[in-house]
Structure 1
């Protein structure tokens, strides 16, 4: 079988010599392609015959495919049966494990973000932590899928992770009890007269979940709130159509996002429909380095339309669109097919969304020593071809008096989430009648959703 494939490749190369002269340019290119394929088959045969351990065809071919796609960008990949199943499980909203989103980085397993209200989150694991051992066994150099499989297991069983956290002198162990992770895409609560909508992911349930949250908040208060805090922190993204649907819930009209492919004419634009589910009330959106992809689409759209005030820290910076192309019943190709742009034409690729007001999470005692991983840190990331010339104001070096309190001082004041507390207080200020009147009378920018009086 291998010999016939090799001969077939060589035969195709020979056949190219017979193509008429008027296609010589194309023929020359094809000949080079087949020469490369011929070389690939030669290496394939040599590895099969002489590698120190026996290796099967499936392993070699999958490795070749993985290498080809990894050379493109960090988000294009081949999904085998296991990967495809995991992807579908994530978009449908539940899976088993400890509640960690992780990524391989030079042989090390790095925590991207813990899932809210999961064993990992309750144990205090943080973005930027490194996992070196599982149940005392070193996982350095292992494939990401193999390391993840070691952390999985029946609900109710324990798994011990050894964590290296930048800023701490020594590794430490955390024992987690596995459970079924129910990813509730949208959660809501009320603080004072402010509605808080926490969007954890963009799965099929996200758009309906946001609309349901509006209704539930009104019922809980017995009236409409002063405004809404939309929490997109640690949201890794998800489905594009759900990002559009969520953005549409806050916008009355105008463009939400544009998707631009390889060719200049390959542009798709998505627009808001009439009607603002938030009734024009003030909106604050919280972002951080874990806010990525679909979550950045929402933040960028509301920021460009002056519909929301963005608070927190600069987001992750993933400005590309992937499509999943099924290959068989249980395998697929995930391929980057476009870049997306905010309504004003900004690309968030590499740079992310800059908040209108930078608010550090000062209740996190380890925040200063922990590195922040973003799209620009990933190998082979796409280059942002539309970089805005935004020059920061000169820093006078003086500490911001709003953020001088320590985590211990805030804990004594019963503030466990400084960014959320700051956002709620901001809405309380924006929701006063005088501010509402001023917002309603302010001239709207072209394409911006106009605030309405209650």
Structure 2
């Protein structure tokens, strides 16, 4: 799905549909014969027999990634179904974004962090008085984990040039992350889509849109556009992403296509039915990947939405998880995905209509000003920065 891990300040590291849960390190007994056969039968580009025979348990992870950059191996007991992301976990309910030696918090609605006053863009300085500078992600996970009902005190630096550190104490609670959240930016409601989960995210989006549009329908000329925030959407179910794109496109519009190992392509078109036809702006960034890129690419191609942010991750492919006899799971690429114009986003990502700096990408009020200006064809009157000039791009994101 995307680089790095995703860790939800919960009890375990998770990765959501398009990534996996847990991790594979290739250690111990690896069922190489089964893996060779799976790759012969299901890989998008089956390796040559000489290459397959050269796979070894000692260097399996490295050799597997050389064959398929998006492949993963999960030893028995380390893989979890992406559908389990809908279950509740104990934690503070926030994403962590690592930017070199710094860590930013992104709270989930309803989680302990949000309830304690954590807002997007706060930098994590200390956990229970211990500095996080130089602390490895695994150790930071250990510091943040705890039993349900226990508390943790975080020292945080709010966004802003002259901000002073604050200490917030929060309770580790049972928390159920949402695929679709409704958040506020400078008085305007933003619809944040975090994941694309088959059969679940589309109805969640429809219910959220019904609520938003009933409260303030953007019918008048010059009204604010509907903004979908995909900055932290690492992907998920491709069919769900295509179904969601179809909500905003006329019947018959090409949504994209997929190509499997046999070389045959399947083209997907928007079906008839009720459509959402309000003006739209999408927010994207380097963490926007896979199914989220397909969704954004389809709407951009048809001129249905303007895109603001940073170039996306660049992963126009689909993976399949295959269970092996010892309980381990092999994830491998089995389909390429093409955008409506026949191009791929692999390695290049989706290019925004308006590119912003990395600091602005984490400043919703400034993104909103750029979005409004782009929607109405004006130069943006952007509020002054709430944070220092552009920070390094995120190396990877984790969820706690």
| TM range, smaller chain | 0.5 to 0.7
1:308 partnered with 2:302: no
Please say if residues 180 and 191 of structure 2, whose CA atoms lie closer than 8 Å, have aligned partners that are also in contact.
yes
Pick closer, same or farther for the CA change 1:195–1:112 going to 2, 3 Å: closer
Structural mapping, 1:274-285, within 5 Å: 274-278=272-276, 280-285=277-282
1:195/1:173 Cα in 2 relative to 1: closer, same or farther (>3 Å)?
A: closer
In the TM superposition, residue 83 of structure 1 has moved relative to its aligned partner by 3.3
* Deviation, structure 1 residue 95: 3.1
1:257 is aligned to 2:250 = no
Specify the alignment match of 1:345 in structure 2.
342
Displacement after TM superposition at 1:149 (Å): 5.7
Is the partner of 1:83 in helix, strand or coil?
coil
Question: Alignment length, in residue pairs?
Answer: 320
* Structure 1 residue matching 2:79: 3-state secondary structure: helix
Cα distance in 2 for partners of 1:230, 1:158 equals 33
Q: 1:198 to 1:312 in 2, by over 3 A?
A: same
Q: For residues 126 and 189 of structure 1, do their structure 2 counterparts lie closer, same or farther at Cα, with a shift above 3 Å needed?
A: closer
Is it true that 1:116 corresponds to 2:108 in the alignment?
A: yes
More helix by share: 1
In the alignment, does 2:77 pair up with 1:77? no
Residue 308 of structure 1: CA displacement?
A: 1.0
How far the C-alpha of 1:301 sits from its partner, in A, is 0.3
* Alignment correspondent of 1:217: 212
After superposition, the Cα gap between the structure-2 partners of 1:275 and 1:138, relative to the gap in structure 1 and judged at 3 Å, is closer
Structure 1: 5+ residue stretches without partners? 10-28, 41-60, 164-171, 368-406, 408-415, 431-454
* C-alpha spacing 1:211/1:77, structure 2 compared with 1 (3 Å): same
Q: Which structure would you say has the larger Rg?
A: 1
Higher RCO (CA < 8 A, seq sep 6+): 2
Aligned-CA RMSD value: 4.7
1:418 pairs with one of 366, 369, 373: 366
Give yes or no for the alignment of 1:247 onto 2:245: yes
d(CA) in 2 for partners of 1:330, 1:132: 39
Aligned residue for 2:247, secondary structure, equals helix
Secondary structure, counterpart of 1:257 in structure 2: strand
Note the 1:71-150 alignment, pairs <5 A.
Answer: 71-85=66-80, 87-90=82-85, 92=86, 94-99=88-93, 114=106, 116-117=108-109, 118=111, 123=118, 148=141
C-alpha separation in 2, matches of 1:217 and 1:329: 48
Quote how far apart the aligned CAs of 1:289 are. Answer: 1.9
Deviations 1:263-295 (A, max 9, x none): 5x23232221123521x2211111122211111
- What 5-or-longer segments of structure 2 have no aligned partner? 1-28, 34-47, 157-165, 378-400
Shift of residue 75, structure 1, vs aligned partner: 2.8
Alignment of 1:152-171 (within 5 A): 152-158=145-151
In the other structure, the counterpart of 2:193 is: 199
Cα shift at 1:251: 0.9
Q: Is the 8 A contact 1:112 1:290 kept in 2?
A: no
Contact 2:93 2:177 in 1 (8 A): no
User: Does the 8 Å CA contact 2:107/2:118 hold for their aligned counterparts?
Assistant: no
Displacement of 1:304: 0.5
> What is the TM-score of this pair, normalised by structure 2?
0.62
SS of 1:85's partner is: coil
Alpha-carbon shift at residue 178 of structure 1 (Å): 3.1
Distance 1:66 1:197 in 2: 38
Query: Following the alignment from structure 2 to structure 1, what is the Cα–Cα distance between the partners of residues 73 and 98?
Result: 16
Distance 2:130 2:183 in 1: 40
CA distance in 1, matches of 2:351, 2:326: 41
**1:203 and 1:32 mapped to 2: Cα distance?**
35
- How far does the alpha carbon of each residue in 1:209-228 deviate from its partner, in whole angstroms, 9 at most, with x for none? 11112321233237857442
- Which residue number corresponds to residue 264 of structure 2? 266
CA contact (8 A) 1:93 1:203 kept: no
Using structure 1 for the length normalisation, give the TM-score.
0.56
